[in-house]
Amino acid sequence: MAINIVIFGSLTDITGSTLQLENIADTNALVSELNNRYPVLVNSKFMIAVNKKMIDTNTPLNNNDTIALLPPFSGG
């Protein structure tokens, strides 16, 4: 199972702007995996959107879902 991750703002300095990961069951597992790969992420504040909807509880992931990592917005 492939999930596509798009990354924005300050987080791109850590992870680059896209990632593809396999075998991630849900958003909690995703965060663990990301923290494993990029230990400094632990200090970063960000929200997660699954298919452009912001989520705030653990959410199961499906094949070809698009996940976005969104640090605090700073438009305007």
Partner 1 sequence: MERKPKNIFVQGAIEAVFIADSIQKHSSKTNIGGHSIFLGQVRADKIDEKEVVAIEYTAYEEMALEKMHVIREEIFAKYNLTCMHVHHSLGKVSAGEICLFVFTSSAHRKAAMEACNELVERIKAELPIWGKELFADESHQWKINQ
Return residues touching partner 1 (CB under 8 A): 6, 8-10, 13, 49, 52, 68, 70-76
CB of 23 to partner 1, least distance (A): 25
Q: Residue 11 is encoded by which pair of tokens?
A: 């987080």
Q: Which is nearer to partner 1, 22 or 45 (CB)?
A: 45
CB of 28 to partner 1, least distance (A): 22
Report phi then psi at 39, rounded to 5: -55, -30
Q: Which is nearer to partner 1, 25 or 55 (CB)?
A: 55
CB of 44 to partner 1, least distance (A): 11
Q: Using the 8-state DSSP alphabet, how is residue 47 labeled? A: E
> Nearest Cα to 62, choosing from 34, 18, 25?
25
Q: Residue 40 is encoded by which pair of tokens?
A: 């400094």
Contact call for residues 17 and 6 (beta carbons, < 8 A): yes
Q: Which is nearer to partner 1, 56 or 75 (CB)?
A: 75
